[in-house]
Amino acid sequence: MSPRPAMRPDEATAVLARHRDLFDESLRARALALGGPLGLFGFTIFAIWWLEMPLAQIWQGLASLAKFVALMFPPSTGGHLDLLLKAMGETLAIALLGTLIATVIAFPVSFLAARNTTPHAAIRFVVRRCLDVIRSVDALIWALVFVGVVGLGPFAGILAIAVSDTGALGKLFSEAIESADERTRESVLASGGTGFLAVRFGLLPQVLPIIAGQVLYFIESNVRSATIIGIVGAGGIGLQLSEQIRTYDFDQVAFAVIMILITVAAIDWISGKLRFAIIGRRAVA
């Protein structure tokens, strides 16, 4: 192979002239790459100024935070292990029942919100907006509302999780239905099946594994959210946690946090195994 002749300067200018737009584009990208971080930085400074951060108190705060952490060791049950265990059980029950109720409500609703199964585009639009509104209100706010309806206790927490997750699950389910392969449904219809049979044998076998995976994932993440709704009195370990933090019993806080960590890790592990069994490794990743 003969070596390539070196490019003469006038050729280089010609090449540059021919591909001017490429270089210009990169200049613009460079300006963006510089301007983006600068904008972020400027907005950060503005935000710190606007929120009137107590920069002077930070050191003092860090010192008291260090004191809290020192108080956490050794973790102790404070003599009411049974109470904590009961609260943890409540948390698990809230997560499980809340998610299941949400699933039962969201499943039929999602057919109305999916493009390929909705009876009318207008219905789809209205249902979607309702799901969006439900979703944008945090579970904790629903918990506050339900404490007012059914009184203090885990039942309010179950209802709060059920309502707030109906929004999220309805959206996810309808997306799963929309991404299903249409051909199996058409083949059921072509062989004389009714619309119901087409959904039962053409659509459900495709979406059920996806839905099951998502439900498991939500049970998992709801164990995390169920730990906090106790702060407003809706059952679960959050009540104990917030009381202990307010009374500076940090050794008990540490114990409760360790309990949450272990439980969540265990639930993660179990639901990971189950998801693997249902949809296989590829879909999990």
Partner 1 sequence: MPSSLPIVSQARLEVLVGDYQRVVMRRRRQSFLVLAILAVLILLAGRIGEVDLNNLVSNISNFTSYFGRIMPKLSVAHFGADVADWYWNINGWLKLLFDTILIAYLGTLIGAGGAFLISPLAAANLAPSTALRWSIKRVFEFCRTVPDLVFALMFVSAFGLGPFAGILAISIHSFGTLGKLFTEALENIDMKPVEGVRSTGGRFAEIVRFGALPQVMSTFASYTLLRFEINVRSGSVVGMVGAGGIGQDLFVAIRKFYYTDVSAILLMIIVCVAVIDLVTERVRHRLSGQEVRP
Residues that bind partner 1 (CB under 8 A): 40, 43-44, 47-48, 50-51, 53-54, 57-58, 61-62, 64-65, 68, 86, 89-90, 92-94, 96-97, 100, 132-133, 136-138, 140-141, 144-146, 148-151, 153-155, 157-159, 224-225, 227-228, 231-232, 235, 238, 241-242, 245-246, 248, 253, 257, 260-261, 264-265
How many CB atoms neighbour CB 219 within 10 A? 23
Nearest to 128 by CA among 137, 118, 138: 118
Least distance in Å: CB of 10 to partner 1? Answer: 33
**Class of residue 225 by CB neighbours under 10 A (exposed 0-12, middle 13-18, buried 19+):** buried
Q: Which residue number, 122 or 277, has a Cβ lying nearer to partner 1?
A: 277
Least distance in Å: CB of 173 to partner 1? Answer: 18
Q: Please tell me what DSSP assigns to residue 230.
A: G
Q: Which residue number, 94 or 198, has a Cβ lying nearer to partner 1?
A: 94
Q: Which residue number, 105 or 137, has a Cβ lying nearer to partner 1?
A: 137
Distance (Å, whole) CA 84 – CA 241: 10
Distance (Å, whole) CA 226 – CA 279: 26
Least distance in Å: CB of 150 to partner 1? Answer: 5
Q: Which residue number, 51 or 121, has a Cβ lying nearer to partner 1?
A: 51
Least distance in Å: CB of 98 to partner 1? Answer: 9
Q: Using H for helix, E for strand and C for coil, what is the string for 15-52? A: HHHHCHHHHHHHHHHHHHHHHHHHHHHHHHHHHHHHCC
How many CB atoms neighbour CB 47 within 10 A? 10
Least distance in Å: CB of 250 to partner 1? Answer: 8
Q: Which residue number, 50 or 196, has a Cβ lying nearer to partner 1?
A: 50
Beta-carbon contacts of residue 160 (< 8 Å; ≥ 6 apart) = 98, 139, 140, 142, 143, 145, 146, 229, 234
Q: Which residue has the tokens 């969006």?
A: 132
Least distance in Å: CB of 2 to partner 1? Answer: 27
Q: Which residue number, 204 or 261, has a Cβ lying nearer to partner 1?
A: 261
